[in-house]
Amino acid sequence: MRGSVAIIGGGVGGLALAGGLHRSGWAATVFERADGLPTVGTGLGIWPSALRALDELGLGTVARERGLVQPDGAMRRPDGSVIATLDVARIRRRHGEGVRLLSRPALLGLLAEALPAGAVRFGEAVTDPSALTEAYDVVVGADGIRSATRGAMFSDRFPLRYSGMTAWRGTVAMDVPAGGETWGRGRKFGLTPQAPGVTNWYAAVAAPEGFRPPEGDVAVLRRWFGDWHDPVPAALDRVDAAGVLHHDVHMLPALPSYVRGRLVLLGDAAHAMTPDLGQGACQALIDAVALVDALAACSDVTSALARYDARRRRPTQRMAAMAVRASRLAQVRRFVGVRDAALRAALSFGPPG
């Protein structure tokens, strides 16, 4: 089957889908409200399953070349003692390869390079996704956690839920030998390498929705985390307030379907999850490949979209539920010994690949 697809949103999922559709002979147009691709952004861990999705798009080799190999990491307490380790060699044994680290701008650039000129229409926000069905065979909502497409499909029946955590993130000019997270009482701090001389950092704290520190973001981060083990204080010393992103962490309840008519959801628009497993971008890539495969394999749009929904809805909702459980562990303020044991058990079972 061949046809035309409108993709609302030029993020990871939207650009990946457009590239895959063009490779399979479909005409795909991406409507992106921003004026261009981002030039700055934090890092993403691309897990083996997502690397295989990039292979299906013809981009896996380049992604591996451009990405850093994730080194072993550890989950620590604020004093630096180890709760558990992230054994990258075990990930390789289990999945055939490890995790690659790419910045969001680097991944988006890689995906955009695979598209023909004019495939992405920047500066075009779509306010009525349903209207696009008059001109396109399929309309895909890859428009993020606050998806207008999802609103067109379900109105306000499935509002976002606050996870209980508010988060900060950014980059600093320094190197760290390995990534990892440090877990305190109801808060955690993470560091991951992004590129030579650049490190991602993030912090998450259990707090009321809408919390805004009166002393400012950087000051409160240094107060909460400044006496934790090295290199956390060194990273905080390098944080530039202008580059700090702060947002409450929301998630999407499980939808009854990712499809309504010729409208279909992908990525965060379908299954926005907390970032605790680092799977948001990975699942969007896998979604994109699954939708391309379904459209190529079926003789009509209705069957193709049903096939995509059947293939992706349950796995992504299971992943989102796992992320919620991890988020709840991070919010624990009492009985942290029990929490640490649960964290060790989860890592011994193995993270999703």
Predicted local confidence at residue 349, as pLDDT: 63
pLDDT means per 10 residues, the chain with 353 residues, are 95 98 97 94 92 98 93 92 86 87 95 96 96 97 98 97 97 90 97 91 97 96 97 96 96 98 98 95 98 96 98 97 94 93 78 60
User: How much of the chain is in helix, strand and coil states, percent to nearest 5?
Assistant: 40, 25, 35
209 belongs to a structural domain: no
The tokens of 99 are what? 């995790």
Cα–Cα distance, 104 to 108 (Å, whole number): 6
pLDDT confidence of residue 352:
62
What tokens appear for 194 in the block? 């992004």
Give the count of domains, the chain.
Answer: 1
Give the number of other Cβ atoms within 10 Å of residue 116's Cβ.
11
* Residue 257 belongs to domain spanning: 4-71+97-160+253-329
> Of 253, 283, 264, 260, which Cα lies nearest the Cα of 141?
264
Does some domain include residue 211? no
3-state secondary structure of 289: helix
Tell me if 89 is assigned to some domain.
Answer: no
Q: Is the peptide bond before 231 cis (omega within 30 degrees of 0)?
A: yes
**Residue 21 in domain:** yes
pTM of the model: 0.95
Beta-sheet strands, E only, within 9-137: 27-32, 43-46, 68-69, 73-76, 82-86, 100-103, 120-122
Residue 84 inside a domain? The answer is: no
**Nearest by Cα to 55 from 100, 120, 105:** 100
Q: Tell me, yes or no, whether 144 lies in a domain.
A: yes
Determine, yes or no, domain membership for 218. Answer: no
Q: At 258, which CATH number?
A: 3.50.50.60
**What are 162's strand-pairing partners?**
250
Q: Is residue 24 part of a domain?
A: yes
Q: Residue holding tokens 């001109």?
A: 135
The tally of CA atoms less than 13 A away on the side-chain side of residue 90 is 11
Contacts of 267 (CB under 8 A, 6+ apart): 9, 11, 12, 13, 14, 142, 144, 280, 283, 284, 287, 288
Tokens of 353: 């690949």
